Structure 1
């Protein structure tokens, strides 16, 4: 288990940092479906008590990323088609509305920020830095939620999309998928630049539907 005690900031809540560490390991595929989550081992590696670890794992369990089996243990949940589809439905509804509401508020500064994001995303894809590419993808979507004036939309999306993210980390190295994302982000940007609410919402829907289809295609062999 790749955990780094030196990355913990002991002056900040440990449960939140441990939550992010373990959640990222699940989402990025470092912890595989069915793999055991050993709270005692995590606590020992990080040099903390079991309490913040238990709290972090409980939060991850609430998101459906792990399963707690009584008298047996805690295990990484399988990736399921139902889980992927549910995440997609929630994300589509929230992000279409986010794009729709961002369009009337879109200005030159916002356009420049998204242009820079797309350029950095394209470079990451070209250089095969797929983790960076996914992080930049998230920044693109989060920025639109911030522009629309409802940053809590992104917080809700970030929690609900964890299952899709597990598939995304498997899907993005596939040739063409990264370029497809860049093209669709550009279409969203152009609709926002035109201050076209419905055009932005449709472009967002098309982008998320494509991501969902691509994720299903790649994840097919591991779906539970």
Structure 2
């Protein structure tokens, strides 16, 4: 297993950096459902001991992204409908309230940051840079949370939405899905700019509902469910 070790900062905790790397590979589909997680191979690829790898994999296991079977091994979990629906419930509740509150506080400078994000997102979709598009999507949502100063809220969303993200990587190349996201982000931003909290929350709910439908549809077609 080859994992890029060039950006590891060995003066910082390795387990946190390895966690981010392995988690990203699972969420993005670089590690497939059912694929074995070889801790020794990961450690050798990164040039580290097995201890921080084991700690990172334990953390990922706690998030339900891998399954550990005694005497058998550790494997990337298949995508679970129940986990996706649970992630949606958590994300919907937190992000609707985040949008509702942000509408009261949004400044012109913050609106321009969101406008720039949407423009960059459009470019990424047009050029087929889907990983960049998903990153920009996350930045859009995180920025709304940060309008409120709610950094822990985004952390909670980020942990819970991992299962939905796995479906997003399958869904976004499909024609029209990326463009639909752009249109919905624009609707959210317009409501925020009007300082209309209820409209912003409603636009956010419609956006997340669409994301859930697309995720379930594409994961089913790709037989990614466990």
The alpha carbon displacement at 1:83 in A equals: 1.1
The alpha carbon displacement at 1:27 in A equals: 0.3
Deviates more, 1:116-125 or 1:145-154: 145-154
Q: Does structure 2 retain, via aligned residues, the 8 Å contact 1:102–1:149?
A: no
- Kindly indicate whether residue 212 of structure 2 is the aligned counterpart of residue 208 of structure 1: no
- Corresponding residue for residue 43 of structure 1: 43
Q: Does structure 2 retain, via aligned residues, the 8 Å contact 1:96–1:205?
A: yes
- C-alpha distance in 2 between matches for 1:79 and 1:2: 24
- Secondary structure class of the residue paired with 1:68: strand
CA deviation map 1:163-217 (0-9, x unaligned): 0000000000000000000000000000000001111000000000001001111
- Corresponding residue for residue 102 of structure 2: 102
- Corresponding residue for residue 145 of structure 1: 145
- Corresponding residue for residue 163 of structure 1: 163
- Corresponding residue for residue 20 of structure 1: 20
The alpha carbon displacement at 1:4 in A equals: 1.2
TM-score by length of 1: 0.99
- C-alpha distance in 2 between matches for 1:64 and 1:80: 10
- Corresponding residue for residue 65 of structure 1: 65
- C-alpha distance in 2 between matches for 1:102 and 1:173: 30
- C-alpha distance in 1 between matches for 2:52 and 2:24: 17
- C-alpha distance in 1 between matches for 2:188 and 2:149: 17
- Secondary structure class of the residue paired with 1:74: strand
Q: Does structure 1 retain, via aligned residues, the 8 Å contact 2:3–2:46?
A: yes
- Kindly indicate whether residue 217 of structure 2 is the aligned counterpart of residue 217 of structure 1: yes
Structure 2 unpaired stretches of 5+:
none
- Secondary structure class of the residue paired with 1:208: helix
- Secondary structure class of the residue paired with 1:7: coil
The alpha carbon displacement at 1:98 in A equals: 0.5
Structure 1 outlier segments of 4+, above 6 Å: none
- C-alpha distance in 2 between matches for 1:110 and 1:209: 25
- Corresponding residue for residue 128 of structure 2: 128
Count of paired positions: 224
- C-alpha distance in 1 between matches for 2:164 and 2:135: 14
Structure 1 unpaired stretches of 5+:
none
- Corresponding residue for residue 191 of structure 1: 191
The alpha carbon displacement at 1:2 in A equals: 3.5
Question: Over aligned residue pairs, what C-alpha RMSD do you find?
Answer: 0.7
